[in-house]
Structure 1
């Protein structure tokens, strides 16, 4: 499969439109992908409850990351008119994510967004944390999950048979290092190859892994305000 950039108007401030597997996909500066034809947001590695998991181990980390993640989702849903959201794994970080405060915030959000269709492609953290509360109304699937020309995955290196589709994946939390002689900047990035795209981690307090592009990869970084092709 091949990808090509295209120019569009009205795609949202700072977003970048790619033609992938015959579909227009918008790379969003908020570290997500929007599929206009399906009115779908694709989110990787939100890691609800990660801060709570650290606090449960006695590590003093900031509170409010769940609210921050939910506010980020709300902003994108409203900006693009999304009717469905697919999470590419690691929805919950650990069993501590089932803590009452975290669950209460998520359930209150779901009550406000009751008409939104939610799907979770289970990732490695989800297997350890357990499935989200049934009251959240999330459809649970295993990878690879076929949808149109795409294979929705958590792991980008998942072995898939011929014709399985262009993979949209997470797991890596990719960042790209822009360096000069005097300074360096780590920016979340989308890694777009011939057969798969790796999305940056959407969640706050999730960190990032500096990647080395493979042959044929194109790197699109997010400054937080716009998406730029750097390689």
Structure 2
């Protein structure tokens, strides 16, 4: 399999997948995009609390999804939890944008593995036609999760694909430092970077046996 547009092909659990610079994973055999922590409505939740944050993050997230679906011919998108950030994500403007997008993508299968924010926010609107499942959700050799610790606890019946921690890797010199979103790939699990706009990141160090792949926004590169 040839990686395209800066993506990097890796093999996990006997399957070849693409790590995408847009902070997502593509599984070619299933024509599936895997997205972690999109956090629809996070900016709206902050504005509801009186914090002046930029508008347009929902449109940015949807445009990013559109670009990836079209670029890879995806037929199925799996969200690894935290689809909605909070109950404020049910606000009319956010919902209207999501429903308009879903109408344009009527043939696209969507699955949400519920995360911790989803449990507080409530399930997405039924009109979005998203299959709702709890972790771990198994398909082929993979266990689709929100929390990466499930793999270490041996609760996941398969190689775990997870999110939750929004991993970033710090590239530092004597004079500067750069925080880049990253994929954490180990023998039992992979942690994906957060896909959503305005989601931040948590600096991590790889555990023994894990490898870091950073995204520059244009390409994915292995570290070390």
Quote how far apart the aligned CAs of 1:160 are: 3.0
Could you tell which deviates more after superposition, 16-25 or 101-110?
Answer: 16-25
Tell me if 1:45 matches 2:41. no
Match of 2:213 among 213, 216, 220: 220
Equivalent residue for 1:70? 62
Alignment of 1:3-22 (within 5 A): 8-9=1-2, 11-22=3-14
Q: TM-score, normalised by structure 1?
A: 0.95
Q: TM-score, normalised by structure 2?
A: 0.98
Q: Whole-Å Cα distance in 2 between the matches of residues 165 and 25 of structure 1?
A: 15
Alignment of 1:22-101 (within 5 A): 22-101=14-93
Equivalent residue for 2:129? 137
Quote how far apart the aligned CAs of 1:12 are: 1.7
Alignment RMSD (CA, Å): 0.8
Equivalent residue for 1:181? 174
Aligned length: 222
Q: Whole-Å Cα distance in 2 between the matches of residues 93 and 139 of structure 1?
A: 18
Equivalent residue for 1:104? 96
Equivalent residue for 1:172? 165
Structure 2, unmatched stretches of 5+, are none
Quote how far apart the aligned CAs of 1:48 are: 0.1
Tell me if 1:229 matches 2:222. yes
Runs of 4+ in 1 over 4 A off after TM superposition: none
Tell me if 1:198 matches 2:187. no
Quote how far apart the aligned CAs of 1:212 are: 1.2
Structure 1, unmatched stretches of 5+, are 1-7
